[in-house]
Amino acid sequence: MNAMVLEKVGGPLRLRDLPVPTPAVNEVLIRVHTCGVCRTDLHLYDGDLPTPKRPLILGHQVVGTIVAQGTGVTEARRGDRVGVPWLGGVCGTCVDCRAGRENLCGSARYTGCHIDGGYAQYTVADPAFCFPLPANYSNVEAAPLLCAGLIGLRALRAAGERHRIGLYGFGASAHIVAQIVVQQGGEVYAFTRANDRASQAFARDIGAVWAGDTETAPPRPLDAAILFAPVGALVPTALAAVAPGGVVICAGIHMSDIPSFPYRLLWRERTIRSVANLTRQDGQDFFDLASRIPLRIKTEIFPLAAADEALLRLKQGRLQGAAVLVVDDEVGGNTH
């Protein structure tokens, strides 16, 4: 199979001809159709996060078809279309797993990190951590749902029942979350890089009531702010934008250092909290929601061999919506 392989921090990814993996006990072999390009991939690529193994195949927003089963697999079937997310396995026995917090399991294994991911023509996965995908999303549209959508929903839930929601960094996750907020009757305030008029116009088209750059105060205090941009300096900025009792959610797996800020920004019961990983329940809840809400998924498509270009575009902020690798040429004509 062809695979784009990370051999050293900072890349570039190398196109390699590798053996098709063999599914182990309780694993399935998946023929990859598409794979979303996530900022977590970029953090692993750049060395912001440690890579447990190298060479490594990145990618944890995988859409594919099961083509073989290892021993012990009883429910998944050949021919099933499934999505493979970031969470690839947990111990199932620790305090967090038993309490329903498998996203905090200290022994968790992650796709495209501990387990080779979807920047390849085939991958293996534990079917207990894969999701059936709603039929109303194409292979390209479904890929960003597997992380941008799941983490977006978890971050939105962490904010609680709030009406005015600020989204800092209007990329893959934000454009999905914005639609959910609007569908639920809330107001979206979108914050982008300075002078990014295209993203601001896109946010308004999605349904934002206001869009501006991150250094501009919103026209009214926010009930909550979700930071998808991995920029620690935005934490005090967002605190200044939320009303008393408001909450600032840090939704990324990595963020630059948060600078010191005056206590008055935190006072009056404002809260800062983080969101870590996802649970399988998050996935079930999100895909139930996505099957009922007609989400409009904005994507930019790249061939597998252009994975480096997609990562660079993401790093430079030159994407609208989500980048998706089309891996299986046979489905290229059926995606959009």
- pLDDT confidence tier of residue 185, bands split at 50, 70 and 90: very high
Q: What is the mean pLDDT of residues 145-172?
A: 96
Residue 332 reports pLDDT greater than 50: no
Report the chain's mean pLDDT, rounded to a whole number.
95
pLDDT tens profile 47-99:
999 989 999 999 999 999 999 999 999 988 999 999 999 999 999 999 999 99
Residue 241 reports pLDDT greater than 70: yes
Q: What is the mean pLDDT of residues 173-200?
A: 96
Q: Is 335 within 8 Å of 326 (Cβ atoms)? A: yes
Residue labelled with tokens 């990014």? 196
Q: Is 112 within 8 Å of 41 (Cβ atoms)? A: yes
66/253 Cα distance (integer angstroms): 29
Alpha-helical (H) ranges within the chain are 39-46, 95-98, 139-144, 150-158, 172-183, 197-206, 234-241, 280-292, 307-315
Q: Please report the domains of the chain, with CATH numbers, ordered by start residue.
A: 2-148+277-334 (3.90.180.10), 150-274 (3.40.50.720)
Q: What is the mean pLDDT of residues 6-33?
A: 97
314/110 Cα distance (integer angstroms): 21
pLDDT at 193: 92
Q: What is the mean pLDDT of residues 309-328?
A: 95
pLDDT at 329: 60
Residue 275 reports pLDDT greater than 70: yes
The residue count of the chain comes to 336
Q: Is 155 within 8 Å of 249 (Cβ atoms)? A: yes
Residue 269 reports pLDDT greater than 80: yes
Look up the pTM and report it: 0.94
Residue 334 reports pLDDT greater than 50: no
pLDDT at 75: 85
